């Protein structure tokens, strides 16, 4: 599941994260490299390989999605050549990044700034801080309350990949999802068939799981599914019209492909006789779920919405 999530995140940010077209990224490798944009002399450049196009840096991507630069950090950031000073500045930048995203509504309390560092910088950071902690204990005779996680290389890479993926997911949530306008989504209670179904409220404090923008999308999914299920599958070849359902999440309720097919059919009704009537409307086996997923992907390909989608 995590690998599929990582692939989806990488694909979206590669296609839409930058203002000047596509920019292939890898998580966490290119992101860790791209926050290290440096301005060096020619002599220093020979010994410092982590240099990237300033228009493709991580903070340029953040500027494009947010519309404003990160407070206190320029998109093209100069870093000191001294390794220890560079690591402490990067750690400070990551701390500022996480604090800023949290202030915008991101859930990142589990991500520590040091997990966003490159492996060689993480080693320097742990060595220096472990030394400072021991020195403080010797001089004061008291235990340091600051906890330092010293991870093995393989464990750190796993943690870093997860941390950067979560950062990108939260960036998407706080900067991209708010562009969804609730004004274009009619109230689902206006549909007679939905009047007996529990509603989904879009007010900010109605859920501690989904944001108001995510709940707006859930409203949209419920509306189109209930409106179109009897239209799309009235001539179904595999099970008849699917039953009414209440769509409350983005994983379990979308697994069988029917909800997504109903959304696509609302805008591309010509796909109904060629694709969607062949779907199982009450799938129960893994083979039937796969069958529906394959039809859904073929339908997306038919309207040129490939985006490297895999079943």
- pTM for the full predicted model: 0.62
| Residue 70: predicted pLDDT | 81
Under the banding of pLDDT at 50, 70 and 90, the label for residue 207 is low
* Residue 137 confidence (pLDDT) above 50: no
Between 60 and 272, the higher pLDDT residue: 272
Contacts of 279 (CB under 8 A, 6+ apart): 233, 236, 238, 257, 258, 261, 291, 292, 295, 296
Between 69 and 185, the higher pLDDT residue: 69
Mean pLDDT of 136-151: 58
The phi and psi torsions of 57 (rounded to 5 degrees) equal -75, 160
* Residue 302 confidence (pLDDT) above 80: yes
List the chain domain ranges: 1-134+150-179, 182-303
Tens-place pLDDT, residues 70-120 = 887 765 666 788 889 989 989 999 999 999 999 988 889 899 999 999 999
Percent of the chain with pLDDT over 70: 75
Tens-place pLDDT, residues 256-284 = 999 999 999 988 899 999 999 999 999 99
Distances in Å between the Cα of 13 and the Cα atoms of 61, 76, 170, 222, 272 are 9, 19, 12, 27, 31
Distances in Å between the Cα of 221 and the Cα atoms of 214, 252, 295 are 11, 14, 19
Which range in 125-139, 155-169, 207-221 is most confidently predicted, on average pLDDT?
155-169
Question: What mean pLDDT, rounded, does the chain reach?
Answer: 79
């Amino acid at each position: 599941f995590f690998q599929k999530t990582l692939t989806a995140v990488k694909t979206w940010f590669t296609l839409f994260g930058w203002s000047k077209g596509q920019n292939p990224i890898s998580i966490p490798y290119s992101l860790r490299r791209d926050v290290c944009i440096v301005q060096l002399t020619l002599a220093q450049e020979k010994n410092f390989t982590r240099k990237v196009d300033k228009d493709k840096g991580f903070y340029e991507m953040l500027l494009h999605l947010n519309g404003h630069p990160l407070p206190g950090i320029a998109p093209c950031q100069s870093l000191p050549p001294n390794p220890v000073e560079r690591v402490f500045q990067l750690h400070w930048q990551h701390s500022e990044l996480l604090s800023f995203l949290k202030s915008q509504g991101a859930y990142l309390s589990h991500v520590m700034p040091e997990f966003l560092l490159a492996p060689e910088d993480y080693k320097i950071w742990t060595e220096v801080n472990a030394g400072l902690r021991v020195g403080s204990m010797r001089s004061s005779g008291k235990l340091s309350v600051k906890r330092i996680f010293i991870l093995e290389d393989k464990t750190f890479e796993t943690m870093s990949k997860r941390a950067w993926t979560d950062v990108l997911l939260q960036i998407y949530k706080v900067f991209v999802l708010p562009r969804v306008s609730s004004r274009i989504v009619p109230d689902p209670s206006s549909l007679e068939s939905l009047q007996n179904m529990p509603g989904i409220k879009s007010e900010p404090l109605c859920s501690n799981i989904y944001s108001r923008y995510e709940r707006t999308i859930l409203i949209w999914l419920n509306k189109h599914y209930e409106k179109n299920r009897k239209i799309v599958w009235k001539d179904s070849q595999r099970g008849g019209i699917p039953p009414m359902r209440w769509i409350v999440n983005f994983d379990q309720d979308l697994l069988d492909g029917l909800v997504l097919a109903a959304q696509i059919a609302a805008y591309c009704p010509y796909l109904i006789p060629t694709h969607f009537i062949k779907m199982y409307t009450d799938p129960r086996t893994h083979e039937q779920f796969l069958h529906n997923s394959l039809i859904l992907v073929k339908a997306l390909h038919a309207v040129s919405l490939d985006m490297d989608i895999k079943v």
